[in-house]
Chain A
Amino acid sequence: MSRERTGGEFADRDTDRDGLQGPGPDERERPSGRRSKEGVRVDPEAEASHPARRTTISALVKHEPGVLAEVAGLVSRRRFDIDSLTVGPTTNPETARMTLTIEEPEPGVRQVEKQLEKLVPVISVRELGRDAVRRELAVLKVHDDDPAAVEAVAEMFDARTLDAEPGTVTVEVTGSSAEVDRAIEAFQRFGVRELTRTGTAALARGNEWTTDAEEERYERQPVDAAATDSASATEGAEAHTDDD
């Protein structure tokens, strides 16, 4: 073991020292600016808060065990105000899509995006525009004391009847979150026995890609005529089998 020393000198004690010196906190010049509690520099006089806004974030993730737990853990640990989180496979067996609806002040929204992006199995993340296509599903089981009235309400909200038995009707409602809310409220008059609803599933509208990665990974392949033919042939064959 080496024990070379550059100095080899020990510190000398200065017994005249008598502790820390300098003007106290009240005598010091203090800056006049300030920041909001989100760390944003603001006018010292202005109100310093950022109102929360509701938005949808889409994340393309690797389709492997543990990703949902990782995302859910991130969201709960960092106390993001999350309304819904849905996950499902995509056309690519290696990837899945998560859709999060959150209500956060602006800096919080950016943080959700960046924290998600940072997770190793997350491929790409994007906040969707206001015009994105958003859908939610609710399945409700209502008392069926007045079948005609239930049917009328169902029609009004484009609800599909999934099951009808003496005493209960089970219907499915899809739509925006607000539409689903309104439908559930309308069905309340019959008494909703049980209810289950999903979070929001969303895609960007039109030609826009939902996340950057998709643009790279799913660039539309030219339609292969032969493949299309064989696909329809298979369909035909299946149909034929069914007929048998």
Chain B
Amino acid sequence: MSEPAPAAARPTEEEPRRDDERTEQSDEQPTETPSTPTTGADAAIAALTAAGVEHVFGVQGGAIMPVYDALAEAEAAPTHVTMAHEQAAAHAADAYGQVTGEPGVCMATSGPGATNLVTGIADADMDSDPVVALTGQVPTAFLGNDAFQETDTLGVTRPITKQNYVAGEADAVGPSVGEAVELAGAGRPGPTLVDLPKDATTAETTGDEAPEAELPEYYEAPEFAEESAVDAAADALARAERPLVLAGGGVVKAEASEELRAFVEAFDVPVVTTMPGIGAVPEDDDRCLSFAGMHGTGAANMAVSHTDCLFAIGTRFDDRLTGGVETFAPEAEVIHADIDAAEISKNVEADYPLVGDAAAVVEQVHEAFAERAADATERYADWREQCHEWEEQYPMTYAAPDEEPLKPQFVVEAADAATPDDAIVTTGVGQHQMWAAQYWTYRDPRCWVSSHGLGTMGYGLPAAIGAKVAAPDREVVCFEGDGSFMMTLQELSVAARENLDVTVIVLNNEAIGMVRQWQDAFFEGRHTASEYGWMPEFEPIAEAFGAKGFTLEGYDDVADTLEAAFAHDGPSVVDAQIDPGENVYPMVPSGGDNSGFALSEGQL
């Protein structure tokens, strides 16, 4: 994949920075010594450092070598985590960004390195996660000539980045990287990319080594919504009989959880979340009906269908949430708060658009509503009662037989019970992801790290690595399916090398289970290419990578096995051999009516 580098030039990843040595060196040199010329590559690293970037996830290669060299040589530089595959570097950076709220940075070489980042960048774009990608590029003189390892990275990533740049000369590198970092985290977060032609990174800079990073000239992210719009929204809430708060991922990203919790508590309003919004409000709060949408809870979907005033914050009304838009919250006046004006009325028309930062807007609405809500809490009593009835009518439960096979939901609940409340859960994509969303109780934002919009199988393990690097003191649990895990399990080598204490729980049903579930429901049970009977044993695979492996087959072993896996200081993999017949319900059929969720295959 990467152009072989001469051994002498290859930075040694195992000992990324010999800080002590370098400090000694610099002590010997008088500070007045004229500084050595800086290159574009030095400027890239200086810009990252100036922006406060602490970790970079990446893979070496020909065109990015000067940047790696600068990373190794710089006195202060982010710590580099070498990943096994560039896709994993992007996912790790994405998860790092989700956990810290600061942009995660990934790095790859030109051509295949850059294209391997694409899935991760697209994933970050769909979920509005702050990610900065730095890609090597062939020298500018070769651009467009189909040179070795050349790809039109700018063209390829234009539709999946918030903004991308080519730094065509050394002096452009620092400002571009600085701007990319600023922009990734500003307003509605998203991925940015800087393409770095090799001649620009090797040439000497003439200007300021690390100019202050700035947002692009015309970029504006509004903070407060217009007062008149807030008043109109508050009037709508005051008129409502059955108001419902819908908290999207934007609540988490805007750090608006506290404001939202205060609002919900003050007026006793029922609240549901979207999948990315999980944790925005505590799921064990009496007012929280958990998440709505395709595999959301019955109560959440009934509430969404029957509300007459939906206060939606930081959501783009994805089709997995709305089902058929014709039947989504059909009786509701919609108040939609979003920092991205283009999200307003994109999928669901907003009667009351509020463009601004979620935390600021929720406070604005709180204040405006408080003046009008004298009788609100009493007036909503019947509605709250109705929501609780739905919760009792449609409890999240599953058959837990005496005998094997093991139910996946039980494994999720057991892992939840065995970990602290602030544990971070990452997942791949598929049935296991839905069980992890449904049966784990999330109490805080930034505890749930998953691939929502793009639905990238294999997201879980690299995300767990990114999450653990971001929060080394927190427990990180990764749920994977067997099919999903197979897509990125080579990253176990990274977890083992860095001794990252992550626990991967593979809910193994020897299938891409979600596909098989849909085949049962909509393709007359023809399991084309969805059953993976040739799955390897994950326990010895884990051991081969240097992780600790476990196999979990029966209920009696769940407690001991999970305990041992969590206790292991380093990466561990639990191959939980679950009931292959278990499917994910409730389920709103694709494009269906939220209130028509099926509780079993027979109801589809």
Q: Would you give the 0/1 interface string for A39-64, flagging 1 where the beta carbon is closer than 8 Å to chain B?
A: 11100000010000000000000100
B29 CB within 8 Å of chain A: no
- If A6-B420, A18-B399 touch, whether A111 touches B349 (CB-CB below 8 Å) is no
* The stretch of A21-29, A138-146, A190-198, A236-244 that contacts the partner chain: A21-29
Contact between B330 and A33, CB atoms less than 8 A apart:
yes
The answer, among B302, B327, B398, B598, for a CB contact under 8 Å with A19, is: B398
Residues of chain B lying within 8 A (CB to CB) of residue A123? 218
| Listed A/B pairs (10) with beta-carbon separation below 8 Å | A9-B417, A11-B416, A19-B398, A20-B397, A21-B599, A22-B395, A28-B595, A41-B333, A120-B162, A124-B218
Residues of chain B lying within 8 A (CB to CB) of residue A115? 342
B410 CB within 8 Å of chain A: yes
B412 to chain A: closest residue by CB: A11
Q: Give the interface centre of A10, A77, A118 by most chain B CB atoms within 10 Å.
A: A10
B163 CB within 8 Å of chain A: yes
Contact between B473 and A22, CB atoms less than 8 A apart:
no
Which residues on A are within 8 Å of B, measured CB to CB? 1-11, 13-15, 17-25, 28-41, 48, 62, 66, 69-70, 73-74, 77, 107, 110-111, 114-115, 117-118, 120-124, 213
3 nearest A-B pairs in the assembled complex, by CB-CB distance: A33-B330, A114-B342, A1-B501
Give CA–CA (A201, B306) in the complex, Å: 48
A-B contact count (CB 8 A): 169
B558 to chain A: closest residue by CB: A10
**Shortest distance in angstroms between B450's beta carbon and chain A's nearest beta carbon?**
21
Give CA–CA (A225, B501) in the complex, Å: 75
B183 to chain A: closest residue by CB: A120
Give CA–CA (A110, B349) in the complex, Å: 11
Residues of chain B lying within 8 A (CB to CB) of residue A7? 417-418, 420
The answer, among A2, A5, A13, A73, for a CB contact under 8 Å with B555, is: A13
A8 to chain B: closest residue by CB: B418
Contacts A3-B569, A9-B418 known; 20 new A-B pairs at CB < 8 A: A3-B567, A7-B417, A15-B400, A19-B599, A20-B394, A20-B397, A21-B397, A22-B298, A22-B395, A25-B596, A29-B595, A31-B306, A31-B330, A35-B330, A35-B348, A41-B330, A62-B218, A73-B159, A77-B159, A120-B216
The answer, among B162, B342, B393, B398, for a CB contact under 8 Å with A117, is: B342
Q: Would you give the 0/1 interface string for B387-411, flagging 1 where the beta carbon is closer than 8 Å to chain A?
A: 0000001111111111000000010
Contact between B158 and A73, CB atoms less than 8 A apart:
yes
**Shortest distance in angstroms between A34's beta carbon and chain B's nearest beta carbon?**
5
B13 CB within 8 Å of chain A: no
- If A3-B566, A120-B216 touch, whether A111 touches B414 (CB-CB below 8 Å) is no
Give CA–CA (A29, B413) in the complex, Å: 31
**Shortest distance in angstroms between B316's beta carbon and chain A's nearest beta carbon?**
12
Q: How many residues of B contact A (CB 8 A)?
A: 77
Residues of chain B lying within 8 A (CB to CB) of residue A107? 345, 349
Give CA–CA (A11, B183) in the complex, Å: 44
B254 CB within 8 Å of chain A: no
Contact between B418 and A10, CB atoms less than 8 A apart:
yes
Contact between B603 and A24, CB atoms less than 8 A apart:
yes
Contact between A28 and B302, CB atoms less than 8 A apart:
yes
**Shortest distance in angstroms between A54's beta carbon and chain B's nearest beta carbon?**
20
Give CA–CA (A15, B475) in the complex, Å: 29
Residues of chain B lying within 8 A (CB to CB) of residue A21? 393-395, 397, 599
**Shortest distance in angstroms between B232's beta carbon and chain A's nearest beta carbon?**
16
Residues of chain A lying within 8 A (CB to CB) of residue B155? 69
B422 to chain A: closest residue by CB: A6
**Shortest distance in angstroms between B378's beta carbon and chain A's nearest beta carbon?**
23
Give CA–CA (A34, B159) in the complex, Å: 33
B397 to chain A: closest residue by CB: A17
Residues of chain B lying within 8 A (CB to CB) of residue A30? 305, 593, 595-596
B328 to chain A: closest residue by CB: A35
The answer, among A15, A25, A66, for a CB contact under 8 Å with B158, is: A66
* CB under 8 Å from chain A, chain B span 328-354: 328, 330-334, 340-342, 344-349, 351
B600 CB within 8 Å of chain A: yes
The answer, among A2, A3, A11, A37, for a CB contact under 8 Å with B413, is: A11
B227 CB within 8 Å of chain A: no
B293 CB within 8 Å of chain A: no
Residues of chain B lying within 8 A (CB to CB) of residue A3? 475, 501, 566-567, 569
Contact between A6 and B421, CB atoms less than 8 A apart:
yes
B538 CB within 8 Å of chain A: no
B154 CB within 8 Å of chain A: yes
Residues of chain B lying within 8 A (CB to CB) of residue A25? 595-598, 603
**Shortest distance in angstroms between A63's beta carbon and chain B's nearest beta carbon?**
13
Contact between B349 and A38, CB atoms less than 8 A apart:
yes
Give CA–CA (A121, B219) in the complex, Å: 9
A28 to chain B: closest residue by CB: B595
Residues of chain B lying within 8 A (CB to CB) of residue A38? 325, 349
Give CA–CA (A48, B330) in the complex, Å: 13
Residues of chain A lying within 8 A (CB to CB) of residue B414? 10-11
Contact between B158 and A111, CB atoms less than 8 A apart:
no
Contact between B349 and A114, CB atoms less than 8 A apart:
no
Residues of chain A lying within 8 A (CB to CB) of residue B483? none
Residues of chain B lying within 8 A (CB to CB) of residue A36? 326
Give CA–CA (A36, B326) in the complex, Å: 5
Give CA–CA (A131, B326) in the complex, Å: 36
Residues of chain A lying within 8 A (CB to CB) of residue B1? none
Contact between A111 and B418, CB atoms less than 8 A apart:
no
Give CA–CA (A166, B289) in the complex, Å: 81
Residues of chain A lying within 8 A (CB to CB) of residue B586? 20
Contact between A5 and B420, CB atoms less than 8 A apart:
yes
Q: Give the interface centre of A5, A15, A69 by most chain B CB atoms within 10 Å.
A: A5
Contact between A24 and B349, CB atoms less than 8 A apart:
no
**Shortest distance in angstroms between A72's beta carbon and chain B's nearest beta carbon?**
10
Give CA–CA (A77, B122) in the complex, Å: 14
Contact between B410 and A70, CB atoms less than 8 A apart:
no
- If A35-B326, A39-B317, A114-B344 touch, whether A2 touches B473 (CB-CB below 8 Å) is yes
**Shortest distance in angstroms between B212's beta carbon and chain A's nearest beta carbon?**
19
**Shortest distance in angstroms between A7's beta carbon and chain B's nearest beta carbon?**
6
**Shortest distance in angstroms between B12's beta carbon and chain A's nearest beta carbon?**
25
B56 CB within 8 Å of chain A: no
* CB under 8 Å from chain A, chain B span 544-563: 555, 558-559, 562-563
B2 CB within 8 Å of chain A: no
